[in-house]
Each structure stands twice: as C-alpha cells, then as structure tokens.
C-alpha cells in the first residue's frame, strides 16, 4: 500500500499508541486501513534504534515482523558497506533492503534480488524515499536462479542466508541455511571477484573456513556488548589464511577493531600469571574470534589461565578492548568465602572455567543478582578455583561497551 500524505499523518499522530488499540479503532474509521496503520506503527516502534535514519523518514513503508527481525541494523550495514566497493554488486537475498541500500553508497549499481513478491514490491516503493535513484534495481526472483541466468560477472555478490527452518527455529549448521552455501559456493566464486556472506555468530568459524574455501577475511561485529554477526569475505583465487577482524561498536559509526590470524595465534606462546589488581575480559567479538594469546602479547599483559580467558595486571590499561574490573578481595570458591566477601548476599555473578555456569554458581553461593559488585568465579594459573570480589572500572566506557 502506498503511503499517502493522510496515512503518514495518521501514523505520526498514533505513533505512541499500542498497535492493538489502533486495530480496535477500525469500527470507528471503516474508511481507513487501520490494520495497515497499526502494522506501520508497530514496525516503527520496533526499529527505532535498529534503523534510526529509516525511522526518521516518514516516506518509508515497513514490512511485517519477520523481515524486520531478519534485516541488518543500520550500524552493521554501514560497516559492511565500508568493506566493499566497485561497479556492480548483487544482493541475492535482498529482504527489506537495508544491506543493499548500504552497498548503494559504495557501488555504482546494486541489484536487489528478492523471491518474495510482496516484499520485493515494497522495496520498489521505497526506492524514491531512500533517494537511491537509478543505481538501485529491484528484481523479483530467486537469487541463485537469477544469478545463473546472468552472462556477465559482478564485482561482488552478497548473501544473508536464512538461518531458520520451516518451523521458524534457528539452525546451527551451514548446510541447514537457505540457500545452502556449501552446495553453491563454487558457482558464487565463479561469478564475482568477491563474495560477502553474513552468517550467525553461533556458527563455528573454523568449521566455516574449512567448508568455504577462498575466505580471506572474517569480520565479527558486536553492538551493545553483544556479538551480532560474522561477515565472511572470499576471493576466487585466494590461497592464504583468513584475517580475523574483531569489530566492537564504540559510538555512532566508530568501531574498535582488533585483527589477527589463526597462524599468528598458533605461533604465539602467550604468557600466564596470577590475579593482580585489575582483571580484564575481552569484548564479545574477541571472545568469539579468539586471538587471546596475541591480544595479551600485544598489550603486554598475561592471561590468568589458558582456558579462563581473563587477563590480569597491576596497571590500569584504560584503552583495553573489553571490560575492566578492579579486584577488591578474593578467596576460595566456597559459600563461606561468598558470605565474607559479600555480606549483603548481592552481586552480579560470573563463572569462567570453574565447571559451573554463572547461574549455577550464583545458586551454589546463595547470592542474589544486582548491585555494583561482581562475584567472579575463575580458575587461576595454578589450577585453583578462586572467588573474586570486583567492581567495574569505567574510565573509557566507549571502548568497553
């Protein structure tokens, strides 16, 4: 449905109402598409933070819930577009068009290919609102079949495979994604100089590198202290290893990036030591990507144990790429120690390499959630399980969060 001036005005006026209450207005306004208005208000309420500039544009029409859940955030799309540029790019799993619109900033021509007809038509209606002009072409077709029909190659292909099955449940393997990249990978590489693929951070990176040859870069994106996605870049004739880029969002369109390779991590001996005044935990992108020994070696701080994934130092490193805690006290990992360290029985509990989950440790220590203190159970370099009383250090929150 096209957004008329009257519809845009009503959507604006009802923007703070619940979609349910708007739908109930249908009897009083039989001449108005209240279901459509309710759906637009609901969509705008959901994407306000995810797609801020799209939210601010009243001319954009939004789809139902699922395409909005599956689409990239504006931040991630902007980052991904910065990785690629050229003449021709085809987004073979177009969806709502957030990724394709981002690539339109760095490519002369972008093809948005989407097999769902209603979604394809909606994106077509949004072209003018997004000021994409003739450089953006919407094609209603199955992306892989359309690609097979193209005689000329592309500078880049982009895919965001569906990661849910027919029941709507998340899948945990590359073969279960749609399309199955392992089956069509060779064909994709034959059609473009670069193939970019967005995948769930739940998929094992090393297994993916083995299944999909030619990957030269893996970008792991975290926003709001949560690992959101992995973007793999592949080149047809690439024979070397992959560069791992752990990108953690800081502010606006700024990212804190830590880069390494698997070969560099394997060859790094790493250093290990006991708990000191400050405790460091790498951000979610680094926790997903690995590179723990390389990070410690570059910064000059030891890990407390090969599998605990904490670093320790007597000096405060304010620009460390992750969270920093100050250790206020410690003891054995027992309920008695918890009573002494946390007399009010309240703390934010974390468990690392102690054979328990954070929830299990909280229950065993009889602690309640909340407060500014952290109760951290972790194994030290000697293999002993320790309980640490900590508080967050926030000198450089833009890097931590």
Domain containing residue 61: CATH number: 1.10.10.1110
- Residue 109: is its pLDDT beyond 80? yes
d(CA 50, CA 348): 28
Residue 121: predicted pLDDT:
96
Residue 229 phi, psi dihedral angles, 5° rounding: -165, 165
Domain identity same for 46 and 95: no
Domain identity same for 73 and 58: no
Helix or strand run (H / E) with residue 378: strand 373-379
Strand partners, 331: 387
Q: What is the mean pLDDT of residues 131-136?
A: 92
Domain identity same for 100 and 195: yes
Domain identity same for 80 and 43: no
The residue that leads in pLDDT, 379 or 29, is: 379
d(CA 234, CA 212): 8
Domain identity same for 234 and 278: no
- Residue 396: is its pLDDT beyond 80? no
With respect to residue 260, please indicate whether it lies within any of the assigned structural domains: no
Residue 246: predicted pLDDT:
98
d(CA 299, CA 373): 26
Domain identity same for 114 and 85: yes
Residue 97: predicted pLDDT:
97
Residue 170 phi, psi dihedral angles, 5° rounding: -70, 140
d(CA 81, CA 50): 17
Q: What is the mean pLDDT of residues 279-291?
A: 97
Residue 164: predicted pLDDT:
62
Pairing between β-strand 226-235 and β-strand 192-199 as defined by DSSP bridges: antiparallel
Q: End of a domain among 53, 68, 83?
A: 68
- Report the chain's mean pLDDT, rounded to a whole number: 94
With respect to residue 255, please indicate whether it lies within any of the assigned structural domains: no
With respect to residue 246, please indicate whether it lies within any of the assigned structural domains: no
169 — pLDDT class (breaks 50, 70, 90): low
Give the count of domains, the chain: 3
Domain identity same for 23 and 105: no
d(CA 111, CA 91): 6
Q: End of a domain among 30, 48, 68?
A: 68
With respect to residue 261, please indicate whether it lies within any of the assigned structural domains: no
Peptide bond into 179 cis (omega under 30): yes
* CB-CB contact of 236 with 263 (8 Å): no
Domain identity same for 52 and 74: no
Domain identity same for 297 and 149: no
What pTM did the predictor assign?
0.92
Residue 167: predicted pLDDT:
54
With respect to residue 256, please indicate whether it lies within any of the assigned structural domains: no
* CB-CB contact of 261 with 243 (8 Å): yes
What are 34-90's pLDDT values in tens digits? Answer: 999 999 999 999 999 999 999 999 999 999 888 999 999 999 999 999 999 999 999
CATH number, domain containing residue 165 = 3.40.50.150
Q: End of a domain among 20, 52, 68?
A: 68
With respect to residue 49, please indicate whether it lies within any of the assigned structural domains: yes
Residue 401: predicted pLDDT:
39
Domain identity same for 283 and 311: yes
Residue 140: predicted pLDDT:
98
With respect to residue 247, please indicate whether it lies within any of the assigned structural domains: no
Provide the 8-state DSSP code for 133.
Answer: G
Q: What is the mean pLDDT of residues 217-231?
A: 96
Residue 163: predicted pLDDT:
73
The residue that leads in pLDDT, 26 or 395, is: 26
What are 299-330's pLDDT values in tens digits? Answer: 999 999 999 999 999 999 989 999 999 999 99
378 — pLDDT class (breaks 50, 70, 90): very high
Residue 173: predicted pLDDT:
81
> What residues make up the domain containing 339?
270-400
With respect to residue 310, please indicate whether it lies within any of the assigned structural domains: yes
The residue that leads in pLDDT, 125 or 171, is: 125
d(CA 318, CA 258): 16
Domain identity same for 91 and 206: yes
Domain identity same for 349 and 300: yes
């Amino acid at each position: 449905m096209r957004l008329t001036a009257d519809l845009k005005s009503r959507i604006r006026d009802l923007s703070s109402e619940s979609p349910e209450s708007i739908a109930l207005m249908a009897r009083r306004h039989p001449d108005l598409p209240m279901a459509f208005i309710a759906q637009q208000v609901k969509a705008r309420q959901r994407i306000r933070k995810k797609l801020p500039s799209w939210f601010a544009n009243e001319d954009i029409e939004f789809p139902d819930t699922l395409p909005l859940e599956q689409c990239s955030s504006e931040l991630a799309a902007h980052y991904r577009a910065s990785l690629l540029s050229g003449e021709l790019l085809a987004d073979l799993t177009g969806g709502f068009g957030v990724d394709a619109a981002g690539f339109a900033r760095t490519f002369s021509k972008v093809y948005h290919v989407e097999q769902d007809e209603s979604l394809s038509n909606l994106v077509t209606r949004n072209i003018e609102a997004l000021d994409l002009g003739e450089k953006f072409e919407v094609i209603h077709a199955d992306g892989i079949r359309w690609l097979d029909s193209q005689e000329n190659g592309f500078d880049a292909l982009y895919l965001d495979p569906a990661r849910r099955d027919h029941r709507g449940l998340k899948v945990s393997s590359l073969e279960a994604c749609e399309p199955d990249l392992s089956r069509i990978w060779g064909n994709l590489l034959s059609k473009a100089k670069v193939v970019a693929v967005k995948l769930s951070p739940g998929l094992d990176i090393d297994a993916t590198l083995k299944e999909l040859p030619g990957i030269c870069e893996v970008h792991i994106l975290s926003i709001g202290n949560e690992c959101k996605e992995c973007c793999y870049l592949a080149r047809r004739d690439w024979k070397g290893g992959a560069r791992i880029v752990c990108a953690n969002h800081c502010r606006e369109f700024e990212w804190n990036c830590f880069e390494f390779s698997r070969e560099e991590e394997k060859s790094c001996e790493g250093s290990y030591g006991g708990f000191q005044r400050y405790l460091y935990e790498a951000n979610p992108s680094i926790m997903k990507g690995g590179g723990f020994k390389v990070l410690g070696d570059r910064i000059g701080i030891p890990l407390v144990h090969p599998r605990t994934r904490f670093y320790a130092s007597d000096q405060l490193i304010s620009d460390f790429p992750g969270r920093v805690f100050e250790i206020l006290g410690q003891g054995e990992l027992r309920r008695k120690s918890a009573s002494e360290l946390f007399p009010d029985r309240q703390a934010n509990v974390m468990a690392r390499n102690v054979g328990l989950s954070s929830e299990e440790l909280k229950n065993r220590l009889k602690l309640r959630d909340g407060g500014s203190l952290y109760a951290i159970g972790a194994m030290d370099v000697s293999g002993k399980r320790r309980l640490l009383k900590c508080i967050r250090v926030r000198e450089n929150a833009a890097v931590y969060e």
